[in-house]
Amino acid sequence: MITEEQTSQAVAEILSSHKKEKKNLIPLLQEVQIRLGYLPRKAMQEIASFLEVPGVEVWGVATFYDQFRFVPLGKYHTRVCMGTACHLAGGKLILEALERELDIKVGETAEDGNFSLERVACIGCCMLAPVIVIKDKIYPKMTPFKVEETLIPYKQEPQGKLKE
Amino acid sequence: MEKLISLEIDGKEVKAREGMTVLEAAKEAGIEIPTLCYHEKLEPYGACRICSVEVERGGRTQVVASCGYPVEEGMKIKTRSERIDQIRKTIIELIAPSLSDGGVVGKVRELADEYGADTSVFMSTFKATPTRCILCGQCVRYCSEVVAANAIGFVGRGVERRVVFLPERASRFCPTCRECYEVCPTGKIAAETDGSIFPEFSIDDFLSGKM
């Protein structure tokens, strides 16, 4: 978890390399997200006061775009492909199985911070459909049953010492 | 000295000052044009399009939003015509489903009756949740332009777009202000907040379920 001090420090560094211009709002939000993985509330407030833009305006811009996240991703961020090939091969069933297994809905992060679930358009390996990606590792030709199996090592290693 | 411009609204000769909008000129001449997102203290927004009028110039007619359209010398304007009535009717019909939970009441109801709009025609195809908000932005703009509190704003996009209160600002300004209660044309804000609690109006509610 990122503390408020870490957030402030990271944001301050990013802000120092930008001019106080309103047009920098989106680049600033992007840089903060690249650095911290999401947009903490504190960061948004600091960007707003730096640019002298009302806080609601920063929220308005940030929530407009799908690329911005407001909760941190889980340690094992799981992406489910919903591209054409994966969709036809039953991607929806895989997503449902993951939702069931992880007990979170798509777009959420589990309370313990270990897993988050996202649906994506295409991962680029349609031959292996349907695919899921758990923390940059691709799992091909999934079935609802294999989902359970695949998750076991991740569930057993919440400390992050999993051998990959 | 400000330049006077003469134009014709509904066959009536009207004098207006330069820089006025068609809506303002009509108002001064006693001609009523319906509005939903217009507020005299705010900058024109042009969101609801209910104030659309026909402008005739050089034999061609054009439909414009009168709230933001500046007056020009020799303009001929029609505030009511078959075309305009049809446009307003459709706009009301499209707005109506978002009010369906509390019933189509108030200003929208009056307009629906006047233009013969069937408020249920798009009800069955309406997929979003009826929020009772028509996104006219009057509260948001009033809060920023007149009160300068910036406690309320838009978040999201498309069907998810809605109005929220920013808690850290709202707790400071809203309990004593509440001026947005008056400007809301559907009465949503007054009905659903008390100036301190904002059910379904806070950023946290919006973000839950969003990554």
A59, A108, A116 ranked by CB distance to B153: nearest: A59
Task: Find the mean pLDDT for residues A20-38.
Answer: 92
Taking CB atoms and an 8 Å cutoff, what residues of chain B touch A110? none
Of B154, B157, B210, the CB nearest to A107: B210
- Chain B residue whose CA is closest to A64: B156
Q: Are residues B20 and B72 in the same domain?
A: yes
Chain B residues in contact with A64 by the CB 8 A cut-off are 155-157
Same domain, B151 and B197: yes
Print the domain residue range for B88: 84-125
Asked, for residue B132, whether it belongs to a domain, the answer is no
How far is Cα A50 from Cα A25, in angstroms, rounded to an integer? 10
Q: Which chain B residues touch A if contact means CB-CB below 8 Å?
A: 140, 144, 150-157, 164, 166, 168-169, 203, 206-207, 209-211
**Contact across the interface for B169 and A56, Cβ inside 8 Å:** yes
Look up tokens 């919903």; give the residue: A82
* Assembly ipTM: 0.81
The mean pLDDT value for A87-112 works out to: 91
pLDDT band at B211 (very low <50, low <70, confident <90, very high): very low
> pLDDT tens digits, residue range A13-22?
999 999 999 9
A116 close to A73: Cβ distance less than 8 angstroms? yes
Please tell me whether residues B90 and B70 are part of one structural domain. no
Put the strands of the sheet holding A115-120 in their side by side order.
Answer: A115-120, A76-81, A132-134, A137-139
Q: Are residues B66 and B41 in the same domain?
A: yes
Per-residue model confidence as pLDDT tens digits over B6-23: 999 999 999 999 989 999
**For B147-168, what is each residue's pLDDT tens digit?**
999 999 999 888 888 888 888 8
Provide, as residue numbers in chain B, all residues whose Cβ is less than 8 Å from the Cβ of A60.
153-155
Comparing alpha-carbon positions, the chain A residue that sits nearest to B158 is A64
pLDDT more than 90, % of chain A: 60
B179 domain-assigned: yes
- In-domain check, residue B131: no
Residue A64 to residue B153, Cβ atoms within 8 A: no
How many angstroms separate the CA atoms of B31 and B16, rounded? 13
The fraction of chain B above a pLDDT of 70, given in percent, is 92
C-beta atoms of B210 and A70 within 8 A: yes
Q: Which residues of A touch B206 (CB under 8 A)?
A: 63
Residue B208's pLDDT band (boundaries 50, 70, 90)? low
Which residue of chain A has the CA closest to B154? A60
Helix (H) / strand (E) containing A9 = helix A4-16
Confidence of residue B36 (pLDDT cuts 50, 70, 90): very high
Per residue in B99-151, pLDDT (tens digit) is 876 677 778 888 999 999 888 888 888 877 788 888 999 999 999 999 999 99
Residue B130 covered by a domain: no
Residue B197 lies in a domain: yes
Q: What mean pLDDT value characterizes chain A?
A: 89
Number of domains in chain B: 3
The predicted structure's pLDDT at residue B2: 72
For residue B199, the model assigns a pLDDT of 63
Q: Which of B92, B125, B158 is the endpoint of a domain?
A: B125
Q: Same domain, yes or no, for B154 and B187?
A: yes
CB B9 within 8 A of CB B60: no
Whether A105 has its CB under 8 Å from any CB of chain B: the answer is: yes
Residue B166 lies in a domain: yes
**Which of B64, B98, B125 is the endpoint of a domain?**
B125
Ramachandran region, residue B54 (left: φ > 0; alpha: ψ -120 to 50; beta: rest): beta
Contact A107 B203 (CB under 8 A): no
Domain presence at residue B149: yes
pLDDT tens per residue, range A115-133: 999 889 888 999 998 999 9
Q: Which 8-state DSSP code applies to residue A72?
A: P
Beta-carbon contacts below 8 Å between A and B: 54
Q: Which of B127, B47, B130, B121 is nearest to B90 (CA)?
A: B121
Does B120 map to a domain?
A: yes
